[in-house]
C-alpha cells in the first residue's frame, strides 16, 4: 500500500481541535463543492514563503464554494514552535481564511499520508481525491513560481473538465514525526510521481 492517498480515495475522517478552540470534523465541511485539506506548520520556510500565496488562492476560490482546512501534524517535540499555543499565535497574527487544526497524535497525517509541509489534497463534492501535491512549483519564493498546480486543478474541476495533472510532488519540509530524527520519513513514503 502506498503511504499517501491515491486518486479517488475518500477523504479520511478527522476530529481535531482548531486554534479557535472548536473541534472540527470532516463532516463540518460537507456543504462545499470542493475541499482543500493541506498539511502545514508554523516554522517551515516553504510554508512561511507560501502562506500569503495560499491565502490569495483561498480568497479567490472561497466565493466559488471551495473550503480550505489547514492541519499541523508536526511534533512539538521536534520543533516547539509547532505546538498548539504557537498555532494560536500565528492565526492571531495573520488571520488566515481557513481553520487551523492540530493533529497532535499524528493519526490524521498518517491516514492522509502527508509527506511535506505544505502538502495539498483536493477533494470533490463526494470527498474523493482528485488532486494531490503542491500548490505552486516554488513555495519558498512564490514570486518565482511558474506553475500553479492547485489553481489549475480547481479551475479545471469547476469548469467541468478532467484534471490534466492530478498528481505532483509536494515541495517542502518533511512532516516532523514524533520520536524520530527531524529528517526522518517513513520507508514507504516516497515521491508521488
pLDDT tens track for 104-149: 999 999 999 999 999 999 999 999 999 999 999 999 999 999 999 9
Residue 18's pLDDT band (cuts 50, 70, 90): very high
Give the model's pLDDT for residue 185: 84
Paired strand residues for 23: 17
pTM: 0.96
The grid coordinates of residue 105 equal 497524535
**59-77 residue pLDDT tens:** 999 999 999 999 999 999 9
Contact 170, 37 (CB under 8 A): no
CA 174, CA 193: separation in Å to the nearest integer?
17
Determine how many CB atoms are found less than 10 A away from the CB of residue 135.
26
CA 78, CA 74: separation in Å to the nearest integer?
8
Measured in whole angstroms, how far is the alpha carbon of residue 160 from the centre of its chain?
Answer: 23
- CATH number of the 9-174 domain: 3.40.30.10
Give the model's pLDDT for residue 193: 60
**157-192 residue pLDDT tens:** 999 999 999 999 999 999 999 999 898 887 777 777
Give the model's pLDDT for residue 142: 95
Give the model's pLDDT for residue 186: 79
pLDDT at residue 1 above 50? no
- DSSP per-residue string spanning the chain: --SSPPTTPBPPP-EEEETTS-EEEGGGGTT-SEEEEEEE-SS-HHHHHHHHHHHHHHHHHGGGTEEEEEEE---TTT-GGGSHHHHHHHHHHH--SSEEEE-TT-HHHHHHT--EESEEEEE-TT-BEEEEE-SSS-TTSGGG----HHHHHHHHHHTTPPPS--B----SEEP--TTS-TT---TT-----
The grid coordinates of residue 134 equal 503542491
Give the model's pLDDT for residue 184: 85
Amino acid at each position: 500500500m502506498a503511504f499517501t492517498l491515491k486518486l479517488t480515495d475518500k477523504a479520511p475522517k478527522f476530529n481535531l481541535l482548531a486554534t479557535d478552540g472548536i473541534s472540527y470534523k470532516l463532516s463540518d465541511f460537507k456543504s462545499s463543492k470542493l475541499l482543500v485539506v493541506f498539511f502545514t506548520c508554523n516554522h517551515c520556510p516553504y510554508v512561511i514563503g507560501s502562506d500569503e500565496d495560499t491565502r490569495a488562492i483561498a480568497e479567490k476560490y472561497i466565493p466559488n464554494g471551495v473550503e480550505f482546512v489547514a492541519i499541523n501534524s508536526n511534533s512539538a517535540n521536534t520543533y516547539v514552535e509547532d505546538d498548539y499555543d504557537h498555532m494560536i499565535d500565528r492565526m492571531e497574527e495573520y488571520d488566515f481564511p481557513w481553520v487551523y487544526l492540530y493533529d497532535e497524535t499524528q493519526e490524521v497525517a498518517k491516514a492522509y499520508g502527508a509527506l511535506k509541509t505544505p502538502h495539498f489534497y483536493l477533494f470533490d463534492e463526494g470527498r474523493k481525491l482528485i488532486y494531490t501535491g503542491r500548490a505552486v512549483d516554488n513555495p519558498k519564493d512564490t514570486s518565482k513560481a511558474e506553475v500553479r498546480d492547485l489553481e489549475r486543478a480547481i479551475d479545471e474541476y469547476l469548469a467541468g473538465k478532467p484534471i490534466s495533472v492530478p498528481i505532483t510532488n509536494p515541495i517542502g519540509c518533511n512532516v516532523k514525526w514524533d520520536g524520530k530524527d527531524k529528517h526522518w520519513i517513513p520507508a514507504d513514503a516516497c515521491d508521488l510521481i
